[in-house]
Amino acid sequence: MTTQKTVVITGASSGIGYALAEAYLARGYNVVGNARTIERLQVAAEKLGNPKNFLAVAGDIADPATSLAIFERAIAKFGRVDILVNNAGIFIAKPIGAYTTEDLDAIVGTNLKGFFYPTQQAAAHMSANGNGHIVSITASVAMQPNVNVPALLPVLIKGGMNAATRALALELASSNVKVSAVAPGIIDTPLHDSAMHEFLKTLQPGGRIGAVQDIVDAVLYLTTAEFTTGVVLPVDGGATAGKW
């Protein structure tokens, strides 16, 4: 057990989640990383240098048993959890008529249940400790829909997460638990085919795609801020500012 702060990151094996794990480790935090398979987490751990303060907990984040295991193992190894970053998510953009029942089940599982179950564990644990931060990765398109990006299911779920962030911030304020979200626009991750980049640039007023570091910087700010809660912070090059 250590006195370092501990952060739980879901979807930690690649993309934004991996970059967050790397950033927190560089700052001396204990990091508990979750992904669906242990193999993916082992690859990530090797890339990170197999640090002793990185704990891999595999499992489907849509399963409540996974969140329970994450917190039980994190507390057993590191003593407490100070930060939860709900990063795991999928994005399926289609016209409404093209969505399948499999699409719906996948998004509800990863994006909705994958937000609710770890947040439920974090809220109970952090409230008992009288301190903590919960930050979720949502989507700016849920704040300002775009006719060029038909994405009803992500808007439905991520928009709900944005609203839930504000509601939970109020619910947990008396326990000194801060709850906020980062709403990315188009970010250069493996989620987007490089062949689509020129089109994707047109979806941002500045005509460029954001970097993973932009999201990392926003999360780091929110998880160190002591008088900021209930915020949904768009990191989207101004796409939610209005029509351009």
- Residue 1 forms part of a structural domain: no
Q: How far apart (Å, rounded) are the C-alpha atoms in residues 41 and 141?
A: 29
Looking at the structure of the chain, the number of domains it has is 1
Residue 83's domain is classified under what CATH number?
Answer: 3.40.50.720
Closest to 181 (Cα-Cα) out of 233, 236, 227: 233
CA angle 225, 162, 231 (to 5 degrees): 25
pLDDT score for 243: 79
Rounded average pLDDT per 10-residue block, the chain, 244 residues: 84 96 98 97 97 98 98 98 98 96 98 98 98 98 92 97 98 98 89 74 85 97 98 95 82
Q: What angle do CA 88, 158, 196 make, to 5 degrees?
A: 75
Residue 242 is assigned to a structural domain of this protein: no
Q: How confident is the model at residue 192, as a pLDDT? A: 65
Q: What is the pLDDT of residue 157?
A: 98
Q: What is the pLDDT of residue 193?
A: 67
Domain that holds residue 81: 6-235
Domain-embedded: residue 29: yes
Residue 241: inside a domain, yes or no? no
Instruction: Supply the pLDDT for residue 204.
Output: 81
How many beta carbons lie within 10 A of that of residue 211, not counting itself? 14
